Amino acid sequence: MKTNKSILTDTFGREHTYLRISLTERCNLRCSYCMPEEGIFLSPKSHIMTYNEVYTIAKTFVDKGVTKIRLTGGEPLIRKDIPIILKKLASLPVELTITTNAVLVDRFIATFKTCGIKNINLSLDTLDKKKFNHITRRNYFEKVFENIQLLVKNGFTVKINTVLIKGFNDNEIVDFIALTKDLPISIRFIEFMPFDGNNWNISKMVSYNEVMQQLSVFYSDERIEKLQDASNDTAKNYRIYGFKGTFAIISSVTSPFCDSCNRLRLTANGRLKNCLFSSTESDLLTLLRAGKSIEPIIEKAVNAKFKVRGGMDTLKKLQQPKLHSQNRSMITIGG
């Protein structure tokens, strides 16, 4: 007997209402944890979704229950047709958000407002200019920091994503928290995760517990307030008492949040990934261009989703390079 189960509900009962769409594999930064030092083989331009294809695929997901879309890259704002993409997606009944490295956001303030974008995630892994230049292999620190303040001034809700790497920026945790004293922003510390080409090793990872231990040296337990996490939230949220902003920790490695996962990912070349850690993908773009329905492939991909981290349900499995090296590099997945 056929049920009325949505094609976006997996075999564990998780309803996927959040779609992350990568618009490009290209970026104007070269962050070492995201892009292999030797670079990547880019998909030919003809293999990348056009703005109409982005819209058509997105609408299919929205029609089936997606209520939130986040645009990612590479760096999404380097696409020349990004204003068209934003305006087309803004016509859908969804919350539209974007993740950017903030280098170009000053050019798009008016477009963001016109398209109803209120929440913007930014990537910033250090407050030290020399370190920034080292990890991004580019010299845009002042521009990024100016744009963060510009977004705040214009009333956007700003979250700053910081990937913690031991021996690189783990000594800046308190400095990042200090930003939230006077700025109404959220700092989100992310455990370093393994992807193809980023030389991941668990010894480089700064865990949730290590972050909290470091903070306890500077702030009393009474000053560190635990906040209510939103439904399906990937982060454990906190505030320092009296500070305008907040901070959070995303513990994808030591304490995965897979039980409540509601996310799917669409790569820039039109392939559906049912999990950030999944080594398998489903080609939607080829079917779409052939004039065929993509819904059966979406349903099959969702039903194939593992319960935990693409099948790597233990730290021991996560530490096996042959498992996570079968995945893409982070820049071609979309943050």
Most confident of the ranges 30-34, 163-167, 186-190:
186-190
pLDDT score of 178 more than 90: yes
pLDDT score of 198 more than 90: no
CA 172 – CA 135 distance, rounded (Å): 15
% of the chain exceeding 90 in pLDDT:
65
State the amino acid at position 97 in one-letter form: T
Q: Is the model more confident about 223 or about 317?
A: 223
Question: To 10 degrees, what angle do helices 141-153 and 129-136 make?
Answer: 100
Q: How far is CA 22 from CA 69, 137, 186, 252, 320, in A?
A: 10, 22, 23, 20, 27
For the entire predicted model, the pTM comes to 0.89
pLDDT score of 1 more than 50: no
pLDDT score of 319 more than 90: no
Which of 225, 252, 269 has the alpha carbon at shortest distance from 308? 252
Long-range contacts of 136-144 (CB under 8 A, 24+ apart): 136/29, 136/30, 136/31, 136/101, 137/29, 137/30, 137/31, 137/32, 138/28, 138/29, 138/30, 140/28, 140/29, 140/101, 140/103, 143/102, 143/103, 144/101, 144/102, 144/103
CA 240 – CA 148 distance, rounded (Å): 21
- Contact status, residue 68 vs residue 89, Cβ threshold 8 Å: no
pLDDT score of 30 more than 70: no
Q: Quick one: pLDDT at residue 311?
A: 64
pLDDT score of 196 more than 60: no
- Contact status, residue 177 vs residue 215, Cβ threshold 8 Å: yes
Q: Is the model more confident about 131 or about 68?
A: 68
pLDDT score of 11 more than 80: yes
Which of 312, 265, 324, 292 has the alpha carbon at shortest distance from 18? 265
State the amino acid at position 275 in one-letter form: C
Q: Quick one: pLDDT at residue 43?
A: 82
Q: Quick one: pLDDT at residue 231?
A: 82
**Mean of pLDDT values over 140-164:** 95
Listed in sequence order, the DSSP H helices in 206-272 are 208-218
Q: Quick one: pLDDT at residue 2?
A: 47
Q: Quick one: pLDDT at residue 252?
A: 79
Most confident of the ranges 11-15, 278-282, 331-335:
11-15
pLDDT score of 145 more than 70: yes
DSSP β-ladder status, 95-100 and 186-191: unpaired
Q: Which two tokens stand for residue 293?
A: 């329905």
State the amino acid at position 168 in one-letter form: F
Q: Quick one: pLDDT at residue 202?
A: 76
Radius of gyration of the chain (CA): 19
Q: Quick one: pLDDT at residue 135?
A: 79
pLDDT score of 321 more than 70: no
Reported as a pLDDT band with limits 50, 70 and 90, residue 37 is low
- Contact status, residue 121 vs residue 148, Cβ threshold 8 Å: no
Peptide bond into 74 cis (omega under 30): yes
At 205-232, the pLDDT tens digits run 899 999 999 999 999 999 999 999 988 8
At 73-115, the pLDDT tens digits run 889 999 999 999 999 999 999 999 999 999 999 999 999 999 9
pLDDT score of 139 more than 90: no
pLDDT score of 41 more than 80: no
Q: Quick one: pLDDT at residue 331?
A: 47
pLDDT score of 242 more than 80: yes
Q: Which two tokens stand for residue 329?
A: 């590099």
Q: Quick one: pLDDT at residue 55?
A: 98
Reported as a pLDDT band with limits 50, 70 and 90, residue 134 is confident
* Domains of the chain as residue ranges with CATH: 18-333 (3.20.20.70)
